[in-house]
Every structure is written in structure tokens, then in C-alpha cells.
Structure 1
Amino acid sequence: MSTIYFTEEHLLFRQSLKDFLQKEVVPHVEEWERTGTIDRFIWKKFGEMGYFGLATPEAYGGLGLDIFYTVILLEELQKINSGGFAAAIWAHAYLAMTHLNKEANDDIKERYLTPSVDGEKIGCLCITEPFGGSDVASMRTTAIKKEDKYILNGSKTFITNGVYADYMIVAAKTDMELGNKGISIFVVDRKSKGVTANKLNKLGWRASDTAELAFDNVEVPLKNLMGKENMGFSYIMEHFSLERLIMGVNAHARAEYALDYALQYMSEREAFGKTIDKFQALRHRVVDLHADIEMCKQYNYYVAGRLDKGEYVVKEATISKLKSTKMADEVAYECLQFLGGYGYIEDYPMARLLRDSRLGPIGGGTSEILREIIAKIIIDKKEYRPAAD
């Protein structure tokens, strides 16, 4: 049955994806969570199914589909209870590949985008730095032009796919005098001399690799510049809308999964002669959580619809991430409580879900930074605009 956002084709895609994830991914999740390494074969399978090319034009091997196919992919990835695996997939497809789709020339697209769609190359996006955090403009990494190349020096941290990626989309300052107006974007091969990676040990997202990267006099060919020199900050800000919406969608889907699981448990767990879903105190808490999820979900769909039409939704996407990730944390906390002692046991899904959810208000811009961005828009009347062509 179609809805205002999803057609029959969308619903068929969702069911096919569910079946794929249950068959090809779920049997391996526990191993990947334990080892922190996702086997390479699954990337190729995702590529064969077209899942990496949903937003990529057909000219480069993609499907060129509307954003609600992406929404479905994100939602279903959250419902296999491995935030790390989900992050590895969407960080490749919607962080690294978004820059390839938007800023790369035909040569770079042929070398990196098409293999990314096929699952033959894995990408990561390198913006955050050890001393900068959410303050992109303060980055210290430099790319100094020297004859026929740029010399890249600096470091990045909290980079999803940073250890096992085949290429990196790297932001660096090409003009130190211009501040945030002197940042450029490059595609850098992971095997380049001078690139080193240190894998970080995280509270959650255990299946994914998260790295601190160092660049020591790395030579980057001039042809690997993405878009225009010194336009990188505008590109980054523009694509933050998609990243923040992604994290908002992840949050509502994660919360939905948590509440569904808790309700199933509550319908089976008995206390004082009846199942615990019959106790009014718990029933009313469930209602509040359901209402919060539904409000965030419908708002996120609204923002996705506007983004799909090409609108610049920096405020709306920032609100999406701010409110949805806070809601998801609260839902995970309450659902763990519904399970009582079993919620605290690793054999049940809620403990991992609680840990994975906690990254939501941190990654892609902390909630504190997001509030300041929104404050600038609604109080200071600041206008954010897309990068000029």
C-alpha cells in the first residue's frame, strides 16, 4: 500500500532489502561486532544489488533513484542492530560518495565513483581533526601546491572506514591566510606514501573501524582536487544537511526497532499474574515513546522530501538530527528499563543498541554545535547558502 512518501515500488524495494539483510548480513553481525572488522565480500554483494548506487546517476553505474530509497536503506540497516555495520555502509555511500557525485570531475568519477558503486572500492570522509572537533574552520591540515602536486600534512580523527578504506575524501587548507575560505577537498589513495592509520577503541559501533589518520608529506596529484580550489568549506557545509538528515533517520528507525523489541518482550514477560504490557505505568510510558518516534519520523520524511526537490534545508536537517538523536537515546534508555535485568545482559539486543545510540548526539556535529547553528539562523538571522557553481 503506497503512502504520501512511499510508492508500491518503494515498498517492494524495502521487502527485498529486508530479505537480503537477513540472508547476507545478519548471520555475520556477531562476528563483525566481536572482531571490529567487516568482511570485504559483503561490500561486493551490496554493490551487486545496487545499494551503493541509489543516489548515483546511471552514467556512473548507479540507479539515480529518489531519496526515499535511501531512507528505506537507512531504516532497514538500523533494524539489524549493528550501528557499526550501518555506519560503515552509509559513511561510504553518503559521506564519501556524496562528494564524488557532487564535486568530482569525470576522471575522478571513473577512477573512484564507479568502483564505489560496484563495491570494489571503499571510501571515507576525512574532515574532523583532533584539535578541531565540530569546528571545521579551525582545521590545521594543509595541502600546499608544489609544481604538479599538493603536499598534504596533518591529521584527522573519528573517521569511519578510516582503516580499511581504499580512498579518502580529505579536507585541507590550501590557503592559510583565508581561514575557512581557504579549504579544498581532495581524493587521496589510501596506499599513498605517508598515510598511516590508528584504529580507535570505541564504546559502541563496534563492527565499524574508526581511525585517527596522519598525513606526512603525502603527494596528491593536482588532478585529485575536487571541485574548485578554496571552495571546500562551502561543499562541506552543503553536504552536512544530508549527513544530519541521515543521522536523524537512523535515530527514528533505531528507536522504532527498540520499542518494537521491548513491546514483544513485554507481551511475553509476566509479573503478578499478567504480562507487563498490561501495567498502566508501563503502557503510558510506551505511548509517550511511540508519539515521540512518530513525530520525529514524520518530520524527517518531510525534510527528506524537501531535500529531494533540491531545496537547501540546513536548518531543517539540523533540527532533524538534534531532536531525533535525543529522542532515540531516551527511547533506548527506557526500553532497556522495560527489559529489567535482561536489558543489561549482552545476549539481548538492548545493551548494544544503547551504546550505539549514544553516538547520535555526537557524530556529524554535536548537539551543542547544532543548537548554536540553529540559534544563528533563527535569532541572528544568518543565512546559509549552497556553494556557488
Structure 2
Amino acid sequence: MRRRWLTEEHEMFRDSVRRFLQDEAEPHMDEWRRQGVVDRAVFRKAGALGFLFMWAESEFGGLGLDDFRYDQVLIEELYRAGCGDIFIPAHNRLVGRYLGRLASTEQKQRFYPGCISGDTILGIAMTEPDTGSDLAAMKTRAVDCGDHWRLSGAKTYISNGIIGDLFVVAAKTGEVGDRQTGLFLVERDMPGFSRGRNLEKLGMKAQDTAELFFDEVRIPKNNELGDPSRGFYYLMENLAEERLQSATCSLANARAALDETLAFTRERLVFGEPVASFQNTRFQFASMATDMEAAQVFLDRCVEELNAGELAAEDAAKVKLFCSELEGRVVDQCLQFHGGAGYMDEYMISRRYADARISRIYAGTSEIMREIIARKMGLDFRGKH
């Protein structure tokens, strides 16, 4: 199905991203997966081509392209090329949009140039060792000391945790048990800020994931991001876009897996016939292709709503749930069609299968997505029995 809402400019952008990945990323992915982290240079090269913070205002050095479709195309090409564990999308939108929505003019002038050039790599620190999707239960605290904040606590599973230079850190600022939370900009060289090990993972091997520690880190007041009492609400507001981005990644990985498997099954012979010629194979492909077209229409509609500032939290939850669950089914079936070869890491489907498993966990688990959707349907019985 031709996606009529992508313009000629979007497709020209796609060609540029594809060439960039062919030249600067694909040849290095095996090495980066072995070392557990991409080279910082890939961010700088992406920045030089205008692929970072594309939405940023021109007065701060950005392109002013506040259109998620450009990031959507970027994500599709990253996964098509097998480079989904280069976490540029997290830098651009998952973290970057917190600055876009909340940063002061002074903060934009201070941080945007590095974010746009790729010299400053972003991360966000929400998850803690004892808390996952329940952000209200976080224990990291920031104490107001008059002219600065004192930040103490620990975060885990932080993407870009090793190579990151600037982190949006969520911390409690109110009384124990309440939801008063602040967001703070923690810079690489702040005393008391340290990183733990680069965590070994099932998939996304080149994407560094780390523990972060804050030992009474002194945070100047000009590193507050927005109102330090409203961080919880900022997180809730931004999660809709994060979940849409997650859905985009899931569908892109599923589509790439399907395309690669179509090519493989046309060549692989069983009983002297191509695997693609068997009825079961053809019917499975037909069903997967149909599901993905339906998902694409749903996803594109949500992107349209995001661009218009109208994406509802429950719709973001629905598209994230649908696309991540679909991705799991598709990559599993595609690996099955590869037979024993699919279990070998030299085949991309093996990596896609491992990478896909996190999609039903991060940005809110499938169970949390179902809970959000159910509550919006009026199925919220908390405290009523």
C-alpha cells in the first residue's frame, strides 16, 4: 500500500538516511555489537547531516521540522538496515522533546548546539532498581538547598547510559509517599554522578544500557527542567509520544523481518521446492502482511494526531500494544521459516528476534498498556470493593 501522506521531501530524506547508514553504520554494526556500544562518531556524523533534533527551532540552530514523520522515516530506515540499536531516536524525541517542551531559553541556548551536532548525547533516567512502570514509587530524591538541589539515588536500565552526556533525571521533591517530582538536567562531569557497568542484554547489543548513581550531586537551579513539583505530570504527558515512537520501532522491525524472510524462503528449498511455495508459508505471509498494513494505517493516524497535538494517552497505549505484540508474532514466525539458520546469529532474523523482546516491556509493558486502555473504558475498580 502506498503511503500517500508521505511527501516527496520525506522520501528524499529517506534516501539521505539510507545512504548515511550504508556508509557510516552498517559496516560497523558487528564491531559495535561486540563492544556493547556504538562509537560516538556516528552521532556526530548524523548531526552533520541534520538528522538530530530536526524539530528544534532555527533560532537555536535547528531545522524547524517539527513533524514526527521525519523521525518516523529515520526509524524505519534504521531498522531496515539492521541498525535499530543505534539509539538516535531516543536522543531526538524520547529525551529531546523534554527539552523542547520544558527548557528555558537559556537552557536551549546552552544545550541545543551540542544536541544538534551530536557532541552532546542525551539519556533519560526514570527506572530504578526496585521500580519499573510505577513511577510514583521512585526513591531518588532531590532536596532544595536554596541556590541548588542535592540529588541522591540510583537509576537502572538507562539507554545511552555509557555514552550519554546529558541526562533528564526524575527525582522526588516532595514528601515521602506523594507524587511531587522534579526533572533535573545532570551533566556528565558533575561531582557525585557516576555510572555502573554496561549491562549485558538479550538483544540490542550495540545500544549501551547502564546503571547511574547520584551521590549528593549538586544541581544548580538553572538545571531544573520546568516546574520541580510537576515532573510526574511531565512524564505522563511525554509518555504518549514515547509509546508512539516505540510502536514505530516495532512495526519497522517487523516489516524488515518480513521482507528479509520473503527473500530467504524463495531461495531455501525443502523437498526440492522453495519454502515460499508451500500453502502454509503463503497463508502465513498473507496474514502477516495484512496485519502490518492495518497497523501501519493505525500508526500513521496516531502520528497525524501527534503532529496536531491531539494524541490521546489511550490511543498511544493501543498503538504501542498492537504494534509490539504484532512484532513479536511476526519475528517469531519469520525465524521459524528460516529453520535452523534462524537460530544462528549470522542471520539478521536471529538478532531481530532478540531485539524485539524488549518492545513489550519498555515504554510500559503490554500489561500496563492494557490497564490504561481498560481504565479509559470505565473499567477502573480501584478502591471500590
Q: Quick one: distance in 2 between partners of 1:135 and 1:331?
A: 29
Alignment of 1:138-287 (within 5 A): 138-177=137-176, 179-180=178-179, 182-198=180-196, 199-287=198-286
Matched, 1:56 2:56: yes
Q: 1:230 to 1:75 in 2, by over 3 A?
A: same
Contact 2:302–2:311 (CA under 8 A) maintained in structure 1: no
**In the alignment, which residue of structure 2 is the partner of 1:387?**
none
CA distance in 2, matches of 1:380, 1:351: 39
The aligned residue for residue 137 of structure 1 is: 136
1:75 and 2:66 aligned: no
Superposition pairs for residues 1-389 of structure 1, below 5 Å?
A: 3-65=3-65, 66-85=67-86, 88-177=87-176, 179-180=178-179, 182-198=180-196, 199-380=198-379
2: CA distance between counterparts of 1:175 and 1:139? 12
Whether the aligned pair in 2 keeps the contact of 1:101 and 1:113 (CA below 8 Å) is no
**1:229 Cα deviation from its structure 2 partner:** 2.0
Secondary structure of the equivalent of 2:178? helix
| Residue aligned with 1:51, SS | coil
Aligned residues with identical type, % of pairs: 37
* CA–CA separation in structure 2 for the residues paired with 1:359 and 1:3: 28
Please give the secondary structure, in 2, of the residue aligned with 1:68.
helix
Rounded Cα–Cα distance in structure 2 between residues aligned with 1:329 and 1:177: 39
In structure 2, runs of 5+ residues without a counterpart are none
Q: TM-score, normalised by structure 1?
A: 0.94
Are the counterparts in 1 of residues 251 and 292 from structure 2 also a CA contact under 8 Å? yes
Report the Cα distance in structure 2 between the residues aligned to 1:155 and 1:324, rounded to whole angstroms. Answer: 31
1:194-241 residue CA offsets vs partner (Å, 9 max, x unmatched): 112112111111101101111110000011101112111111111101
Deviates more, 1:119-128 or 1:269-278: 269-278
TM superposition shift of 1:189: 0.7
Q: Please state whether the residue corresponding to 2:296 is helix, strand or coil.
A: helix
Residue 385 of structure 1: aligned partner: none
1:381, CA displacement in angstroms?
Answer: 7.7
**Alpha-carbon separation, structure 2, partners of 1:277 and 1:2:** 24
After TM superposition, the runs of 4+ consecutive aligned structure 1 residues lying more than 3 A away are: 1-4
> Is the 8 Å Cα contact of residues 2 and 8 (structure 1) preserved in structure 2?
no
Q: Does structure 1 retain, via aligned residues, the 8 Å contact 2:190–2:218?
A: yes
Q: Which residue of 2 aligns with 1:386?
A: none
Deviation at 1:272, TM superposition (A): 2.2
Q: Distance in 1 between matches of 2:147 and 2:305?
A: 42
Measure, in 1, the Cα distance between the counterparts of 2:162 and 2:366: 27
**1:325–1:3 distance in 2 versus 1, CA, 3 Å:** closer
- Distance apart, 1:147 and its partner CA: 2.4
Q: Answer whether contact 1:241 1:318 (CA < 8 A) is retained.
A: yes
The CA deviation at 1:3 is 4.3
Q: Aligned AA for 2:76?
A: E
Q: CA deviation at 1:53?
A: 2.2
Contact between 1:47 and 1:119, CA under 8 Å: does it hold in 2?
A: yes
Structure 1 residue 244 displacement after superposition: 0.3
5+ residue gaps, structure 1, are 383-389
Q: In structure 1, give the amino acid aligned to 2:17.
A: L
Question: Shift of the alpha carbon at 1:380?
Answer: 4.3
Task: Give the Cα separation in 1 of the matches to 2:20 and 2:275.
Answer: 34
For this pair of structures, how many residues does the alignment match? Answer: 379
Paired with 1:340 and 1:175, the residues of 2 have a C-alpha distance of 55
- Distance in 2 between the 1:349 and 1:178 partners? 46
Rounded Cα–Cα distance in structure 1 between residues aligned with 2:102 and 2:71: 20
Which range moved further: 330-339 or 306-315?
306-315
Tell me whether 155-164 or 50-59 shows the greater mean CA deviation.
Answer: 50-59
Q: Deviations over 1:233-260 (max 9, x none)?
A: 1111111011100110111110000010
- For the residue of structure 2 that corresponds to 1:310, the secondary structure is coil
Alignment partners' CA distance in 2, 1:313 and 1:55: 21
Aligned residue type for 2:159: T
Aligned residue for 1:128, secondary structure, equals coil
TM-score (norm 2): 0.95
Which range is displaced more, 60-69 or 279-288? Answer: 60-69
